[in-house]
Chains A and B, each alone.
Chain A
Amino acid sequence: DAGVTQSPTHLIKTRGQQVTLRCSPISGHKSVSWYQQVLGQGPQFIFQYYEKEERGRGNFPDRFSARQFPNYSSELNVNALLLGDSALYLCASSLWVWDREAQYFGPGTRLLVL
């Protein structure tokens, strides 16, 4: 079975631009979470979606938004990009929002903002 997939793998943008990142969860998983990992740090929680609804949000500005589609795939949008948004963006999927098993992470999208 395919794991979590993300696209694109790499992305270069300039300050002020907007970016959309995509994630497809493991088949059968209904919850998707987004994390930002800055170089040398642990991942930081951005959003969790379950059944197309936002179920949790981390401490990120309103420039960050996300949505989940009926097929459980998800998009993360970041507007007005800043240099500090350069990071590895990870998507994780789990069966349910209250799933006590591990979240499974995708390969990530590496975003560079110039």
Chain B
Amino acid sequence: ELKVEQNPLFLSMQEGKNYTIYCNYSTTSDRLYWYRQDPGKSLESLFVLLSNGAVKQEGRLMASLDTKARLSTLHITAAVHDLSATYFCAVDMYSGGGADGLTFGKGTHLIIQP
């Protein structure tokens, strides 16, 4: 059974600081996704990482994937209040003719304070 673990689950940080969210998964996969969810809202796609060593950046967020270590990171640079949200990583275990959907971590609840 695929397990996806995020840490930390809760993070309070000040504006202007840097921090990293970690996502570990238990089974080989080369497809990892990061989503953002605001309170009461749906999921917004942030990054799709499809190969070992993949790195993607959008504004103050940068995501990377190490398939050998089964680890992805989401790095926040010079945080601003607007980045306050819950961030989920998800791993895709699609295999051959069957679809197993995305397996999500529990999410990292991020609060950025002035």
Contact = CB atoms under 8 A, between A and B. Distances in A.
Given A35-B101, A42-B104, A45-B101, A100 B31 contact: yes
A42 B42 contact: no
How extensive is the interface on chain A, given as a class? 20 to 34
Contacts of B106: 41-42
Contact of B94 (A41, A97, A107): A97
B97 to A, nearest CB: 8
A103 B104 CA distance: 13
A37 B99 CA distance: 19
A98 B33 CA distance: 15
Interface in B46-70: 48, 50
B100 A42 contact: no
Q: Which of A46, A104, A105 has the most CB of B within 10 A?
A: A105
A54 B43 CA distance: 23
Interface in B73-114: 88, 90, 94, 97-107
A93 B35 CA distance: 15
Interface in A25-76: 33, 35, 41-46, 48, 50, 55-56, 58
Given A55-B98, A97-B94, A98-B94, A104 B45 contact: yes
B101 A90 contact: no
A35 B100 CA distance: 12
27 contacts: A33-B102, A42-B4, A42-B104, A42-B105, A42-B106, A43-B88, A43-B90, A43-B104, A45-B100, A45-B101, A45-B102, A45-B103, A48-B99, A55-B97, A56-B98, A56-B99, A58-B100, A58-B101, A97-B99, A98-B99, A100-B31, A102-B33, A102-B45, A102-B48, A103-B45, A103-B102, A105-B35
Interface of B: 4, 31, 33, 35, 41-45, 48, 50, 88, 90, 94, 97-107
Interface of A: 33, 35, 41-46, 48, 50, 55-56, 58, 90, 97-98, 100-108
